[in-house]
Structure 1
Amino acid sequence: MRARYDLADRIAIVTGGAGGLGRGIAHALIEAGAIVELWDADCAALADAVAELGEGARARVLDITDAAAVEVAAQAVFKDHGRIDILVNNAGVLGEVKPVWETMPENFQRVLQVNLFGSYLVTRAVVGLMRRQPARASAITLHPLRGHVVNIASIQGKEGMAKAAAYSASKAGLLALTKSVAKETALDGIIVTAVTPAAAETAMAREISAERRADILGRIPMGRFVEVEEVARLVLWLSSDECSFSTGGIFDLSGGRATY
């Protein structure tokens, strides 16, 4: 029997919501009763995602590296719904798969801009609003909660990986951002956590060569990529009132690759 979570009337934002992982996470949140705002720069993919996810999904075309646009978007969601309960920082790009001396500085910078700086901008805007909203009484915990932030990092952020310096550095930075913001909001009833998946079967995984794929699989003791649904199920728990005392926690989803 699958665990069930009640997210009825919760307002959620999922960045990178048009991609495979973002859609999977959004689907789980919607099934639990949440209304989900999908933020993505790809207009066509967003329309397709909303059509697939149905009534509980909303689309917002947004470049998360644009500070002013992020602020406007966050304010708009807050005005439309009166609060923001869940933020999932999922948007990310892979970048070049090359040794560092062969990489282009503009590509390295782009990966950091999207994966780390963009997540910072969204967190900054949304957490600022979460802190202003009333805390919710919960049937699960005696301690009122204002919101949950879940950052989708990567196992590469823990241990690095050859030919992925930009991606690994960006995800390591996201882990540090998670821990810092969690400490800043610990008394506000805002729970901030991160997930460190191994590679999942998404469009990003399809960008890599067969040789690279074999290399990654060889590092995972379970011998397979993580399923989108497995990531979504963990995010669902981390977004719920059941997760009430794990702020700052980094949750492994690596199939045993790096269990710390």
Structure 2
Amino acid sequence: MQGSANLNLMIKAARKAGRSLVKDFREVENLQVSSKGPGDFVSKADREAERIIREELMGARPTYGWLGEETGEAAGQDPTRRWIVDPLDGTTNYLHGLPHWAVSIALEHKGEIVAGVIFDAAKDELYWAEKGAGAWMNESRLRVSGRRHMIEAIFATGVPFGGRSTLPATLQDLARLMPTCAGVRRWGSAALDLAYVAAGRYDGYWERGVSAWDVAAGVVLVREAGGLISGIREDQNPIDGSLICGNQNLFEPFRKVIRGE
């Protein structure tokens, strides 16, 4: 696999963190039967994965900025570059012993995501993309699906939980979308939802109320795989809270349904 020095650094960090998480994931499955429960254990695994990633990335690029789910934001001496990291996207799946979670690492340059890595360690699927170099899964080039009709399409989203404020709008989205398509999936990892759009497994994805570290790496994957992506509203940046994406055939009709137009 050919990539820039930064991309290769990101892949190395993602694989190292992924190995640590897989080891702990086996332990989580055993903890399911204990009275204490695996919650504290998983939070430690999450923090350890971020520590590994930060050590690898910042050790090699100490002047870059940082935004991580567990450790927050830190400005760098180089104001134009920033790592955006989710060490464990799909924490609830991980907690319940479900093998659908990922490490997500993105590089932002002058406000644009220029490289992304999503590592599904449980399935050994490494998704990666760099601006102008295409999107890949392991050694295979990725392309978004070619479906042209909404009624044949499968879409993905995240359904808010715990009384989050975006739940009513999402339920309205589902009520409009479900009659028009072949199905909606909610698998619990925004990073992998975007990777699956890039791979043509899903035809589109939308979600409200996501964080930058959930979706940053996936944004460049979808674009480099030939997909279209934007905020749900025109004035929204895709990594700033609400986004929608799909293949070029379905993007506009999909977006119109979600917007209620």
TM-score using structure 1 length: 0.30
Q: Whose strand fraction is larger, Structure 1's or Structure 2's?
A: 2
The structure with higher relative contact order (CA 8 Å, sep 6+) is: 1
Q: Whose helix fraction is larger, Structure 1's or Structure 2's?
A: 1
TM-score using structure 2 length: 0.30
